Amino acid sequence: MVMPVEILIVDDAPNIVLSLEFLMKKEGFSVRSASDGEEALRAVAEKKPDLVLLDVMMPKRNGYDVCEAIRADAALQGVRIIMLTAKGREVEQEKGLALGADDYVTKPFSTRELVVKVRALLGLQSETNV
């Protein structure tokens, strides 16, 4: 039996979490969510996900911080990170990538695009009809 792909959604805005959870579940992934940085790190420590959708602007520890912490942890090697943020400037994307994110999506984004990026990072074939 193939292990389902684990996705962790980290965002403090419940509305977007609702959409993302739905979207990822429809893709057939197993989904968990966290609403701030500390909760996210706990969730990651609990069970290593395949991919984290990580918002930047969050209370307590922000996305950059979480990203760096994940990358610093040898036990969490291989976790993919896509940063989601309302910060749209190129320099912020660059900072995200510099701190270890694999990709970067600016809000507002198209869900189709996000799915393409997630599948690409996980090495899965994109379903053409999505």
Partner 1 sequence: MSSRSKFWSILFLFYALCLAIVAGVVWVVMREMPSVANETYYWLQKVFVFSLFALFCFTILLLQIWSWLDRVLIKPLSHLDRSMAIMANADPNHQLAIRPDHLLGDLPAAARQLASALFYTRRQVKEALTHGMDGLERLERVIKHLHVGLVVINGEAGILLYNAAAQNLLRHRAEFLGLGRSFYELCARMPVETTMTLLSHCNNQQECSVNNGVRFFCAVVQDDRMLDCRMSLLPVEGGKGKMQFLITLEEASQSMAALRQGDLLIHHGLENMRGPVANLRAAVEMLLLHPEMEGEMSRQFIQVIHDEGEQLSQRLDWIAGEADALAANHWLQTDVLSTDLLAGLQRRLERHQDIRLQSIGDALWIRADAPALLLALEKLLIELAGYTDDGLIEVETLMGDRRVYIDFIWRGKMVPATEVESWRSMTVADGGLRLSLQEILERHGCELWSRSHRRAGHAMLRVPVTPSQRQWQMPQDEMPERPEFYDFSLMDSFAGLGRMVAKSLSTLNYIVFDTETTGLHPSKGDEIISIAGVRIVNGRALSGEKFERLINPGRPIPPESTRIHGLTDADVADKQSIEEVLPQFKEFVGDSVLVAHNAAFDMKFLQIKESVCGIHFDNPVLDTLLLSVYLHEEVTDHTLDAIAERLGVVIHDRHTAMGDTEVTAEVFLKLLELLKAKGISTLGLAMQASQSMVQIRRQQANANY
Name the residue among 1, 54, 13, 105 with its Cα closest to residue 116. 105
98 sits near partner 1 (criterion: CB under 8 A): yes
Token couple for 56: 């930047």
15 sits near partner 1 (criterion: CB under 8 A): no
Give the Cα separation of 41 and 112 in Å (integer): 27
Q: Site residues for partner 1, window 20-79 (CB under 8 A)?
A: 61-62, 64-65, 67-69
- Shortest reach from residue 58's CB to partner 1, in Å: 11
- The residues, ordered by sequence, that sit 6+ positions from 104 with a Cβ below 8 Å of its Cβ are 82, 83, 85, 93, 96, 97
- Shortest reach from residue 50's CB to partner 1, in Å: 23
> Which positions lie near partner 1, rule CB under 8 A?
61-62, 64-65, 67-69, 88-92, 94-95, 98-99, 108-110
